[in-house]
């Protein structure tokens, strides 16, 4: 029969083991496949970034980071799946900014809470927006495009990858800050929007630079202006909107990686360190060629960015007079 002292030792040991259990489990993370949900179709810039990052994380951890595309509803299919997943680090999302910011103003209700349902890990990249058209003779410059839009209110059309998407937000910013009125045509993904712009079925697109860049370089789309403070190294001859006479039109479509809320902080920190390591010189060079700026952050910095952009995008949506759907 154990003595009282022996019983106390056993109890202390069991308590220590119980307290150390989560730390030991987190220390072995990951020990099986990690699913990374992207709420957009394959082929867009967010999907490309997710796949590049997944390969790097696979090499670091020795476990597959499998990309799963759940497109539709401007993120309202993929994002809730992540929000409802176990908070164990085995379901993540690589998300465009709009799913976490603009959607809160565009839709009356969402099947997820952008601020409460996710744990930020890191911002991944910034992507400049660019106004592109197929008909360069009809719209030779950004100012000519604006003049056409003002001359025919509601007639000039622009494509986007869905309500609340970066392309939609670019159009809203253009409209509200230039006092123009255009026709928004949403698609289920950036690739589809680009295809119809190429086909001439819509007049223009406020595209995320990577999705439009190959077509600009091939001469199939004409870039009128970048919605950024400076020109892009991959398109040195394309002026900024300010250089084209349209001031205060700066917008970046960032992409971030997040986990479900309540994911243990040691796992979040481990993933944050891994993301920063993944964004090495090779990673940066590949993205730079596509016009993408690598821009990792701390989880706290990403949370501040989300909060600030929710406010900014709400102001744009309100100024545009849009009624939440």
CATH number at residue 170: 3.40.190.10
Same domain, 177 and 121: no
Give the residue-averaged pLDDT of 94-107: 92
Same domain, 121 and 259: yes
* Whole-Å CA distances, 190 to 96, 105, 164, 206, 272: 12, 21, 12, 10, 28
Q: What is the pLDDT of residue 87?
A: 98
Same domain, 199 and 171: yes
- Domain assignment of residue 54, yes or no: yes
- Domain assignment of residue 7, yes or no: no
**Count of domains observed in the chain:** 2
User: For the chain, what is the largest distance between any 2 Cα atoms, rounded to a whole number of angstroms?
Assistant: 95
Same domain, 166 and 200: yes
The residue among 207, 226, 245 that closes a domain is: 226
Same domain, 120 and 208: no
Residue 156 · residue 6 · CB < 8 Å: no
Q: What is the pLDDT of residue 146?
A: 97
- Domain assignment of residue 246, yes or no: no
* pLDDT for 191 beyond 90: no
Mean pLDDT (the chain, rounded)? 89
Same domain, 37 and 185: no
Same domain, 119 and 133: no
Residue 3: pLDDT band with limits 50, 70, 90: low
Residue 6: pLDDT band with limits 50, 70, 90: very low
* pLDDT for 22 beyond 60: no
* pLDDT for 5 beyond 60: no
* pLDDT for 61 beyond 80: yes
**H or E element that contains 20:** helix 4-27
* Whole-Å CA distances, 94 to 110, 131, 150, 235: 18, 25, 37, 26
- Range(s) of the domain holding residue 186: 129-226
């Amino acid at each position: 029969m154990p003595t009282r002292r022996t019983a106390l030792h056993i109890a202390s040991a069991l308590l220590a083991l119980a307290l150390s259990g989560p730390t030991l489990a987190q220390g072995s993370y990951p020990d099986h496949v990690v699913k990374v949900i992207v709420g957009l179709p394959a082929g867009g810039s967010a999907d490309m970034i997710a796949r590049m990052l997944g390969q790097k994380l696979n090499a670091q951890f020795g476990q597959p980071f499998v990309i799963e595309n759940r497109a539709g509803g401007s993120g309202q299919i993929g994002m809730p799946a992540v929000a409802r997943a176990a908070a164990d680090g085995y379901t993540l999302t690589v998300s465009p900014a709009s799913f976490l910011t603009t959607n809160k103003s565009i839709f009356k209700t969402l099947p997820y809470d952008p601020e409460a349902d996710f744990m930020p890990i890191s911002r991944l990249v910034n992507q400049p927006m660019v106004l592109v058209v197929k008909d360069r003779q009809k719209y030779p410059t950004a100012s000519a495009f604006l003049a056409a839009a003002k001359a025919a209110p509601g007639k000039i059309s622009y494509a986007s990858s869905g309500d609340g998407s970066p392309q939609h937000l670019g159009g809203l910013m253009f409209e509200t800050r230039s006092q123009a009125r255009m026709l928004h045509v949403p698609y289920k993904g950036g690739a589809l929007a680009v295809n119809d712009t190429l086909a001439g079925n819509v007049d223009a697109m406020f595209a995320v630079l990577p999705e439009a860049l190959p077509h600009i370089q091939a001469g199939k789309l004409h870039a009128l202006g970048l919605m950024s403070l400076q020109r892009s190294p991959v398109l040195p001859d394309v002026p900024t909107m300010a250089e084209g006479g349209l001031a205060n039109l700066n917008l970046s479509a960032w992409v971030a990686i997040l986990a479900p809320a309540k994911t243990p902080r040691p796992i979040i920190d481990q993933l944050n360190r891994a993301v920063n390591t993944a964004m090495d010189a090779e990673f940066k060079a590949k993205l730079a060629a596509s016009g993408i700026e690598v821009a990792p952050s701390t989880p706290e910095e990403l949370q501040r960015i989300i909060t600030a952009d929710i406010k900014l995008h709400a102001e744009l949506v309100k100024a545009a007079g849009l009624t939440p759907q």
